[in-house]
Structure 1
């Protein structure tokens, strides 16, 4: 049986972004192994014959001694499983996994680049970034390595950094897709109070500070007509994590409410009118793809990854990265025009059906696996 190893950072991310691909690969005859950190949800991955491996590593560590240990972890994992194909998800598995796969002569490698991560965001430069670039150049320099990019900007960044090799095959897939049945076009809740949803891991790079300041600008005028809903965990293990103390201080339980992590995001989207993501940079944000499927108006930034989810003035509005006043103006414009929100919601659903259907994403991944094995 062909052996496929999928490596990601943490179980909840894998479940939301790649589990459906693993399930379909298993049904198609692959022996599928999934390696990532178990935060208590491994049972959701251990389905359809998938083998789960608790594989914990520092997502953003820079201590040289610890990073050598992490590289050794990858080596031991790959040597033990002996996969025919290894699918790396997120930047550290892409970086370290490619090196180990090359060292062990693993037959095929699929690297999914969904953004460039903390060390490449916000004009950050330094020794860590330079080291990662050198490591990726080495790992990518081989045959039978395919790279999936979610947007044109990330591909150009890899090309400019000379990470890609002429031997690599490049594939473009717009995000991880959305199940259009699980996330159906849904009616809006009452417009008595317009609800603006921020459905993210609470990271500064997602624009939390900007939304906080924009909400402050609107509060006096619209505190009874507008509600800001924060849905997501405070990822304080992440260097860009927003402290829970900041979120608790911001929320008042009325105008702003923080509902934390929610397993059933469909209901959360359905209880909103507008979905907002003032991010600095993304690969292709799952939250906006899901918002499109549910049929919601979107406000996001004209940032890499985000801009692909919004056709300006059609299914949403785009504002400059780091903007506060423009973000507040966009929220105000939509909340005062309920018909426009509804029209944009219809257009979002159409966009999801045309561009983000998960069945198309799954099919493309299985084709890549087959091309690497043959």
Structure 2
């Protein structure tokens, strides 16, 4: 059985971003997962949890998400030794740092198929010397890879516009997304009115409240500053509105403004629930997803919300503007605009009953385009084609 190694920087990506995919692929290939060990939870490292859930072998290699040249060289050398020993037919990486170190190591180790999936470009928000450095690193990654898979058409265009690689190396699989979505899992019918009412009551949300939700990291690049600013203006005119924030801060990597965090803490109509292993209950009680991100690859949360029948307000960036169609399953606004976000939220408030009627359409669009098994089959076909050639 031919061997495929899948790599991410941290185990939460290996087990979350690719949830179920590695287990599926192990029916056809010997699968090995590589990532940092991650944190210990109840005495078990996060990477070991991925091994148990996906039923695959894992190998820990410490990688960082920051610019750490010495640690990165150690990671490259460690991966090189693993690739020489395991002799995989394919090394397939996700996430920026894992992509860079693994593509370099796989090139030197002589791995024939070196694949890297792009699910976002953090460097797009960088400027000055940092941007120059990150551009160079990106080009090195792509040069060492044999194929690059942007997970949206918009990302493919950005890559070509920045001359990171040639078009012949690029391919968008399926209709985008790295893993698709399990629409049997993200299904609003799994939650009864009793379940939803109990959660509403627990969070202090009344039946008359219109509920907006954000799911993701509470960081600047996700548009949290703009979201809180817009919500503050809206709640002055509309009393029965609530904003649920599902996610945690990353104060070292990408902090929000101090006044934003203070407003989240003091405002009773803003309900931070922290990081959640299961976001479905919060989507089930929400009317509208607000996702004003600056940059994305192909955002899972917008697919998840759609599958749960939730209307979305998203920014006009790649991925988001491929999942959402204006006035059908959501609204598309310019990024970094408090005013545009405020206007879009007000529009949904004014058309609350009409938006409720779009629930089935929102779900059906996701089922037809991004069902997980379809995405997995397309990735499997790509592996088969590469190995046959």
TM normalised by structure 1 equals: 0.89
What's the offset of the Cα at 1:323?
0.8
Query: Could you tell me how far apart the structure 2 residues matched to 1:87 and 1:137 are?
Result: 13
2:18 is aligned with 1:15: no
Structure 2 length-normalised TM: 0.86
SS in 2 for 1:67: helix
Q: Which runs of 5+ in 1 are unaligned?
A: none
Aligned to 1:33: 32
Partners in 1 of 2:77 and 2:256 — Cα distance?
Answer: 31
Give the CA deviation at 1:287.
Answer: 0.3
Aligned equivalent of 1:147 = 148
Cα distance 1:130–1:301, how it changes in 2: closer, same or farther (>3 A)?
closer
The superposition leaves residues 301-325 of structure 1 with CA deviations (integer Å, 9 ceiling, x where unpaired) of 1122211121101111111111112
Matches within 5 A, 1:287-302: 287-302=301-316
Mean alpha-carbon deviation: is it higher for 45-54 or for 106-115? 45-54
DSSP 3-state at the match of 1:19: coil
Q: Which among 215, 220, 228 is matched to residue 204 of structure 1?
A: 220
Task: Please give the secondary structure, in 1, of the residue aligned with 2:347.
Answer: helix
- Partners of 1:10 and 1:39 within 8 A in 2: no
Task: Give structure 1 regions of 4+ aligned residues with deviation exceeding 6 angstroms.
Answer: none
- What RMSD over aligned residues (CA atoms) do the two structures have, in Å? 2.4
Partners of 2:2 and 2:148 lie apart in 1 by 20
- Report matched runs for 1:314-325 at 5 Å: 314-325=328-339
Q: Deviations over 1:50-89 (max 9, x none)?
A: 012233211121x433332333233233334332211111
SS in 2 for 1:46: helix
Structure 2 CA distance, aligned partners of 1:322 and 1:345? 27
Tell me the distance in 2 between the aligned counterparts of 1:228 and 1:264: 18
Partner SS, residue 155 of structure 2:
helix
Q: 1:51 aligns with which of 45, 57, 68?
A: 57
Count, aligned residues: 365
Deviation at 1:122, TM superposition (A): 5.7
Question: Which of 60, 66, 69 in structure 1 is aligned with 2:71?
Answer: 66
Tell me the distance in 1 between the aligned counterparts of 2:360 and 2:265.
Answer: 31
Paired residue for 2:245? Answer: 230
* Larger helix share, 1 or 2: 2
CA distance in 2, matches of 1:336, 1:216: 17
Q: CA 1:44/1:267 → structure 2, altered by over 3 Å: closer, same or farther?
A: farther
